[in-house]
Each structure stands twice: as C-alpha cells, then as structure tokens.
Amino acid sequence: MTGCRFGCCTPEAAALPDGGWKSTEKGWAIDERRAEHLRREWAATSARIDKAQSDYPKCPCGQRAVALDKFGLCSKTTDEHQRRRGIYAAPKTKARA
C-alpha cells in the first residue's frame, strides 16, 4: 500500500503538508521521503514533454517548435536564422525595442 501514483511514497509521506516541501534557513527543501517522488515526477514530466515535442515540426537548426514561422524556422534569432529569413547584417549591439 503506497500513498502516491508512482508507488514510491508511504501514505504518511504522501500526506505531508505542501507535498513534503518545507521552508528552511537555506530556503525550500524537500523532505527526503519525497525526494524519490520528486525525481519520478520530473522524469514522467520530461518524458511527456519529449513525446509531445516529437510531434512538433523541426527547424533546420534541430530545434523543435510548436509552430515554425513562414520561413520554416523556429523562433531563434541567431545569424543563421536571420540569414535564412533573408535578414542580413543585423547589428548585434543594437538594443531591442
């Protein structure tokens, strides 16, 4: 009998207030009984993101994006991307508006 969907927590650990997070002198810390849970939750989340992103279109730079612009590029603004967009010689020092 466990207290969470990943099967890593005891019912007491799962019932900790704030999910086991507590405020310490050094800031927020996770209760060690919940550390494994946090790791599993993070792994599950990133696996889901990876899967979702594998459906996304891919920019020539290798970046996947929810949507590519009309040039088939992601939202990056590196020289390479700007060149592909036909924008040349954008001064790097120019402050963005």
Q: Which parts of this chain interact with Zn ion (CB under 5 A)?
A: 4, 6, 8-9, 37, 59, 61, 63, 74, 76
DSSP assigned state of 56 = S
CB of 90 to Zn ion, least distance (A): 16
CA triple 40-43-49, angle to 5 deg: 145
Phi, psi (5° rounding) for residue 57? -65, 155
CB of 36 to Zn ion, least distance (A): 7
Q: Which is nearer to Zn ion, 26 or 54 (CB)?
A: 54
Q: Which is nearer to Zn ion, 49 or 72 (CB)?
A: 72
Pull the structure tokens for residue 4: 């969470």
CB of 72 to Zn ion, least distance (A): 9
How far apart (Å, rounded) are the C-alpha atoms in residues 65 and 54?
A: 10
Alpha helices by DSSP H, listed for the chain, are 11-14, 32-53, 79-84
Q: Which is nearer to Zn ion, 43 or 52 (CB)?
A: 43
CB of 41 to Zn ion, least distance (A): 8
Q: Which is nearer to Zn ion, 63 or 82 (CB)?
A: 63
